[in-house]
Structure 1
Amino acid sequence: MQRRHFVAGGLAAAALPSFAAAQGLEKPKCTIAVGGKNLFYYLPLTIAEQLGYFKDEGLDLTIVDFAGGSRALQAVVGGSADVVSGAFEHTVNMQFKGQPMRAFVLQGLAPQIVLGVNPKTMANFKTVADLKGKKIGVTAPGSSTNVLVNFVLAKAGLKPSDVSIVGVGASNGAVAAMRAGQIDAISNLDPVITLLQRSGDLKIVSDTRIVSEAEKVFGGPMPAGCLYCPQPFIDKNPNTVQAMTNAMVRANKWIQKAGPGDIIKVVPESYLLGDRAVYIDGFLAAQKALSPDGMFPAKGAETAFRALGSVDAALAKAKLDLNAVYTNSFAQKANAKYPKG
């Protein structure tokens, strides 16, 4: 199987240069870093890859998977990847740190992160304040799952230091940590959340898979998964960025029309975490929280800034150019090119 993929990949790569030249791609071979590729949060990336949309645009991408979004971001900062498939709020944080990053195509309309408690270790849970002194599992410390925890804690009058944050990844390890009682609560995404719910190992506290609830939690539209990269990469490679955006917008539109059976056929078997029914439930829970067209909501950057500022006083006081953390110009062109996906 691997050899067949390798041969097919080699043939595709061999055919790329002339096609790429025709498209005027500055950098047809790129690396995208992602934190938890099996999650529905990143489903558009997987669909674009599996259905050959990136290749259709003349791209030869390597997608490298990390334990969480903060690790994927480190790969781009360190120069081992070109683009991050990750959470939108990192663009705000990076501008604050003096390393400007810009998001150019949206994958998620809402964060899709669920915070829930462990019924085994927190049978008497009543309010978020009960989490004081407890262990909370996140995909990776500093990732968007961690940001949501900090934000929900802040609204309940708790500081990030009032809890212990534990990195548990975004797959079977996260499920095992909850079931074994190693963590008292978890901030994670589907299919992990649906798997824990169905087995009775999770009591939901906050569910941002529901777009209206996400807007209530964050006080406005909170863009989630997106492709973002350092501003100089966009400046040097606008055609390459456009090609990536075209592929992602096509994937976004395909997902909105897809049924669970279509998704099961396309995603790798390992994504199902051993239970197709759970994966289907997770997809149906996530589908409406995914972007239909790759466009960022006008007030999304303000919402992300407020959420981060609520747990970082220095950032809250900063004067940032929020228009510089995203652009819709590539997604607009992609929608014009692929009006129906």
Structure 2
Amino acid sequence: MQRRDILLRSAAAGAVAAFPALLHAQALDKPKLTIAVGGKNLLYYLPLTIAESLGYFKAEGLEVTIADFAGGSRALQAVVGGSADVVSGAFEHTLNMQVKGQRMRAFALQGRAPQIVLGINPKTMPAFKGVADLKGKKIGVTAPGSSTNVLANFVLAKAGLKASDVSIIGVGAGSGAVAAMRSGQIDAMSNLDPVITLLQRSGDLKIISDTRIVAEADKVFGGPMPAGCLYAPQTFIDKNPLATQALANALVRADKWIQAAGPGEIIKAVPESYLLGDRAVYIDAFLAAKGALSVDGLFPEAGPETARRALASVDPEIAAAKLDLQAVYTNEFVKKANAKYPKA
């Protein structure tokens, strides 16, 4: 009887310990959801990876599936098509979708600068002097229509070139992008880390525009340019405010953990495949990108207007549109997340 009592008490204690987590999960309006991302291995989306690998989503009662695509535009298509609920992608897509009559709202920031680097191939363009030399050349981007494509168009436009003056080629965000550059399939590249650092260290890339540096990004775009973020259809947010809050909580924890972490901790927290076979390169890439990652998940108030100006300079439809910039983002959820998690 004594042994039986001990077993019963142990079982009861275990049930009580598990009950709060179970209750938390049941209380969420959507405990199971899918996040679509374009190039999950990129440092651009490091907070998403950290939230997953350190169990921050689970701690909030969420069961998250992350679907990885070749670029941000493909990830957006997944949500529009209904196969995913939330996008981990570039902020400017929220403005593009408003023009198309689809309300998308960003609710947690991952990057306070785009981290996108435009560089040329020294082998195919040894006599490169300026951006104008890219006319008629092949430029590799993660995927056509993605933020890497937008930045390339923006830099080209500032040099007097149109998007039609170059050939845009989707090369992804990993080993395929590296191979395309090294084999000479492309003359220039708009991509992110760790791809950029790997190519730069091997002498296969010469940087001409670097928005990993916040000050340079602000100069290029004329103000703060929000980058990677979590965004979703307004209908999802309205229907699932608790799940949206849980996502924001997890991401803010990840943002803060990254800022307090050392390179060694980062290496341990990301999958081996992210390192592209070279840990030293990944560490260098992390140190180069760290300053461009958000420290608290908050969107800068001037950010939406900066994004609108950048897009308007290359897209006549956006230039002519009257956009409601307050409708493309909210800091409501991350403010509550910061109150819940004041420290990393």
> TM-score of the superposition, structure 2-length normalised?
0.94
Which residue number corresponds to residue 27 of structure 1? 30
Deviation of 1:75 after TM superposition, in Å, equals 0.1
> TM-score of the superposition, structure 1-length normalised?
0.95
The 1-side partners of 2:198 and 2:233 are apart by 36
Which residue number corresponds to residue 207 of structure 2? 204
Which residue number corresponds to residue 217 of structure 2? 214
The 2-side partners of 1:133 and 1:88 are apart by 29
Deviation of 1:19 after TM superposition, in Å, equals 3.2
The 2-side partners of 1:239 and 1:295 are apart by 18
Matched residues, number = 327
The 2-side partners of 1:303 and 1:125 are apart by 30
Q: Which runs of 5+ in 2 are unaligned?
A: 1-18
The 1-side partners of 2:317 and 2:197 are apart by 36
Q: Does 1:287 align with 2:290?
A: yes
Q: Which residue identity is paired with 2:258?
A: I
Q: Which residue identity is paired with 2:296?
A: D
Q: Which residue identity is paired with 2:25?
A: A
- Do the aligned residues in 2 keep the contact of 1:16 with 1:60 (CA within 8 Å)? no
Q: Which residue identity is paired with 1:309?
A: A
Deviation of 1:16 after TM superposition, in Å, equals 6.6
Larger Rg: 2
Secondary structure of the residue aligned to 1:112 is: coil
CA RMSD of aligned residues (A): 1.3
Secondary structure of the residue aligned to 1:305 is: helix
The 2-side partners of 1:17 and 1:144 are apart by 39
Q: Does 1:51 align with 2:54?
A: yes
- Do the aligned residues in 2 keep the contact of 1:16 with 1:59 (CA within 8 Å)? no
Q: How does 1:255-270 map to 2 (within 5 A)?
A: 255-270=258-273
Q: Does 1:134 align with 2:134?
A: no
Given candidates 90, 94, 110, the residue that maps to 1:91 is 94
The 2-side partners of 1:132 and 1:158 are apart by 7
Q: Which residue identity is paired with 1:324?
A: A
Deviations 1:249-295 (A, max 9, x none): 00000000011000001100000000000000000000010000000
Given candidates 192, 196, 199, the residue that maps to 2:195 is 192
Q: Which residue identity is paired with 1:46?
A: T
Given candidates 73, 77, 97, the residue that maps to 2:80 is 77
Secondary structure of the residue aligned to 2:66 is: strand
Superposition misfits of 4+ residues, deviation over 2 angstroms: 14-19
Question: What is the percentage of aligned positions where both structures have the same residue?
Answer: 80
The 1-side partners of 2:205 and 2:191 are apart by 11
- Do the aligned residues in 2 keep the contact of 1:131 with 1:163 (CA within 8 Å)? yes
Deviations 1:101-143 (A, max 9, x none): 0000000000000000000000000010000000000000000
The 2-side partners of 1:259 and 1:150 are apart by 35
Secondary structure of the residue aligned to 1:161 is: helix
Which residue number corresponds to residue 6 of structure 2? none
Q: Does 1:238 align with 2:241?
A: yes
Q: Which runs of 5+ in 1 are unaligned?
A: 1-13
Q: Which residue identity is paired with 1:190?
A: D
Deviations 1:26-71 (A, max 9, x none): 0000000000000000000000000000000000000000000000
Which residue number corresponds to residue 116 of structure 1? 119
Q: Tell me whether 308-317 or 46-55 shows the greater mean CA deviation.
A: 308-317
